[in-house]
A and B are shown apart, each in its own frame.
Chain A
C-alpha cells in the first residue's frame, strides 16, 4: 500500500505536468489570431518573469531596470538580421550572450549596494540604456522610431508568420526555461542564492563567494531577458526604445513580487494579472498603471508574500512578522 502511494507520488507530478503541456499546446487551436497573440504575449512575459525571478526571487536583489536587457536582446537580433542577414533563430544565442555581458558590466560596480539603493541605481541604468537607444547611440539604433524590417524566422523551411507559430516558439522556450529554472533552484548555486537572500553575512561566513554568486544571478537573469527580447523581435519585426521603458521594468517586477517572489507558479499568476488581464479588457488597459499601483499597494499591505508564494518565502515572512510583533517597530 505504502509502496503504491510512493509510486503515485513519484509518477503524479510528471503526469499533470504533461497534461498541462498538452493543454498549452491545444488551447490556442480554437482561438482567433488576436487571442493567440495574447497567449504569445503571456508566454513571453512568463519567460521574462522567470528570468527576473532569478535575480529578485532567488537572490533577493532588487532589479528595477530589467527591461533594458529585454530591449538589448531585441536590438541585437534586429541589428544582426538587418545588417548581416543572420537568420533570426541563430541570433538568439548571440542575444543571450550580449544580455549576459551587459548584465555583468552594469551590475559589477553596484553589487555592494543594498535594498532600496540598488533599486534606484538599476532604475537609472535602465533609463540610461533607453535614452541611449532613443539618442541613436553610435548611429545604429535608429533613434526614437527604432529599427524595422526584421525578417521572419525560418524553421526547417517553414516561415514563422502566423501568431500560432510564434506561440509555439515561445512555448518551447518557456518549457525549456521552466526546466532550467527548476534545476537551478535546487542546485548548489540556487541554494547559495537563497542563503544570500535570507542572511548575507551568514552565507559569507559559510564560505559562499557572495560577489560571484550575485553576479551569476544578474548574468543569467539578464541573458535570459535578452532571449525574450529576441523572441519579441522575431514576431513583431520592429524594435523600439519603448521596450526599455521603466513601465516595462515595473510590470516585470510586479509579476515576480505579486505572484510570489521565488515561486514559479507565482510568475504565472503574476503574468495573468499584470499582462493578460489588461490585454483582454479595454477598461483595464486605460487604467493599467493605476491597476499596477493598486495591486502593489494592497499586496504589500495584505499579502506581502504574493498570491502563490514559495513555501520558503512564506515561512520567512511569517517568522519576520512574529519577530516584529514580539519586538514592535524598531524605527531605524
Chain B
C-alpha cells in the first residue's frame, strides 16, 4: 500500500518536473541551448505569485481561492516577458558564437535572477497565505490517499501539457517551431521569421514555468530562493531523461523522475533523494545520451 501511496505522490511531483522540463526542452529544441535561467524564471513565478496573491487578497479583504485566477494571468505574463527579455539581452547577441558562450551567459543570467530574488525578497523562507488551497481528498481502495490539491495539480498540468502539444503539432506557429528546431537557415528560406518563433518559444516556456512556480508554491506552501536552482536542475534532468528537444519526452521524463525519486526516498533514504536524481542523469548521459524518446541529438554527441 505504501508503494501505491508513494506512486501517487511521485506522479504529483513528476507533473511539476514535467511542466518545468517543457521550458528546457522547447528552448533546447530551437536554440540547442541549455537555458540555465529557466529554473530561476520558474522561481520568480513563485515569488511574483506571492506578491500577486498578497495584493489580491488585500484588495478583496477576504480569502477566496478565486483570487488565484487573476494571479495566474499576472504571473504567466510577467514571467513570459522576463523570458523574452532574457533572450533579447543575453542570448540573441550570442546566436552565432558557438555553443558554449550562450551556456555561460545562461548560467550568468541564472545567478543574476537568483541574487535579485534574494536581495529583493530576502533570504528567509516565504509562506503563501493560508486557506487558499482546498483541503479535502479521496481515499481510494486500500487506503491510498489522494488529496483534492493533488487532483487539481494533476488536471491543471495535464491540461497545460495537452494544450502545448496540440499547439506545437496542430497550428501554423507550432509547425514553424518544429521547422526552426530542425534547421534555422532552411526555415528562413521557407519564409519562417526565425527571430519571431524564438521569441514565441521564450514566451511560452517561461510562461508555463512561471505558472508551475505558482502551482508548486501553492502545493508546498513555502519556499526559498534555492528553489529555482534545485527544481530547475531536476527538471532539466527530467528533460534529458525523456530526450531533450522532445515535448512528450519531457512529460515522460518528468513523471519517471518524480516516481523514481519518491520511491527511492521512501524505500532507501530521503537524504539521498537528490543523489538518486543526479545518478540517473549521469547514467543516462553515459549510456543513452539521447534520452528515452530522443533520436535527433545522437549525431551531435
Mark A residues whose CB is within 8 Å of B: 62, 109-110, 112-117, 119-121, 123-125, 127-128, 131-132, 134-135, 246, 250, 257, 286-290, 292-297, 300-301, 304, 320, 324, 328-332
Which of A123, A128, A301, A320 touches B233 (beta carbons < 8 Å)? A123
Q: Say yes or no: is B109 at the interface (Cβ < 8 Å to chain A).
A: yes
Q: How many angstroms from the CA of A144 to the CA of B213 in the assembled complex?
A: 28
Tell me if B105 and A300 are in contact (CB < 8 A). Answer: yes
Q: How many angstroms from the CA of A115 to the CA of B115 in the assembled complex?
A: 26
B245-299 interface with A by 8 A CB criterion: 271-272, 274-275, 278-279, 281-282, 285-286, 289
Tell me if A297 and B108 are in contact (CB < 8 A). Answer: yes
Closest to B95 in A: A329
Tell me if A293 and B95 are in contact (CB < 8 A). Answer: no
Which of A112, A289, A301, A324 touches B96 (beta carbons < 8 Å)? A324
Q: Say yes or no: is B191 at the interface (Cβ < 8 Å to chain A).
A: no
A116 and B108 contact, Cβ closer than 8 Å, known pairs A121-B282, A132-B275, A332-B184: no
| CB < 8 Å A-B pair total | 134
Mark B residues whose CB is within 8 Å of A: 32-34, 89-90, 93-105, 107-116, 118-119, 180, 182-185, 187, 194, 229, 233, 236-237, 240, 271-272, 274-275, 278-279, 281-282, 285-286, 289, 301
For A121, the chain B residues whose CB sits under 8 A away are 281-282, 285-286
Tell me if A120 and B275 are in contact (CB < 8 A). Answer: no
For B281, the chain A residues whose CB sits under 8 A away are 120-121, 124
Tell me if A286 and B289 are in contact (CB < 8 A). Answer: no
Sorted from nearest, which 5 A-B pairs have the closest CB atoms? A331-B184, A296-B108, A293-B111, A290-B115, A293-B112
Q: How many angstroms from the CA of A246 to the CA of B34 in the assembled complex?
A: 17
Which of A114, A116, A297 touches B105 (beta carbons < 8 Å)? A297
Tell me if B96 and A329 are in contact (CB < 8 A). Answer: yes
A110 and B108 contact, Cβ closer than 8 Å, known pairs A115-B99, A124-B278, A329-B95: no
Which of B112, B116, B237 touches A297 (beta carbons < 8 Å)? B112
Q: How many angstroms from the CA of A288 to the CA of B118 in the assembled complex?
A: 11
Closest to B111 in A: A293
Tell me if B272 and A135 are in contact (CB < 8 A). Answer: yes
A300 and B97 contact, Cβ closer than 8 Å, known pairs A117-B301, A128-B279: yes
For B98, the chain A residues whose CB sits under 8 A away are 320
Tell me if B301 and A114 are in contact (CB < 8 A). Answer: yes
Tell me if B96 and A109 are in contact (CB < 8 A). Answer: no
Tell me if B301 and A300 are in contact (CB < 8 A). Answer: no
Tell me if B282 and A290 are in contact (CB < 8 A). Answer: no
For B187, the chain A residues whose CB sits under 8 A away are 331
Taking A119-B103, A120-B34, A297-B89 as known contacts, 16 extra A-B pairs with beta carbons closer than 8 A to each other, sorted by chain A number, are A117-B285, A121-B282, A123-B233, A125-B282, A127-B233, A127-B275, A128-B282, A135-B275, A288-B115, A290-B111, A295-B108, A297-B108, A300-B104, A329-B95, A329-B96, A330-B185
For B233, the chain A residues whose CB sits under 8 A away are 123, 127
For B103, the chain A residues whose CB sits under 8 A away are 115-116, 119
Q: How many angstroms from the CA of A266 to the CA of B93 in the assembled complex?
A: 24
Tell me if A120 and B240 are in contact (CB < 8 A). Answer: yes
For B229, the chain A residues whose CB sits under 8 A away are 246
Q: How many angstroms from the CA of A289 to the CA of B228 in the assembled complex?
A: 14
29 contacts across the A-B interface (CB closer than 8 A): A109-B286, A110-B285, A121-B282, A124-B279, A124-B282, A131-B274, A131-B275, A131-B278, A132-B275, A134-B271, A135-B272, A257-B104, A288-B115, A289-B114, A289-B115, A290-B119, A293-B108, A293-B112, A296-B104, A296-B105, A296-B107, A297-B89, A300-B104, A301-B93, A324-B96, A330-B96, A330-B185, A331-B194, A332-B182
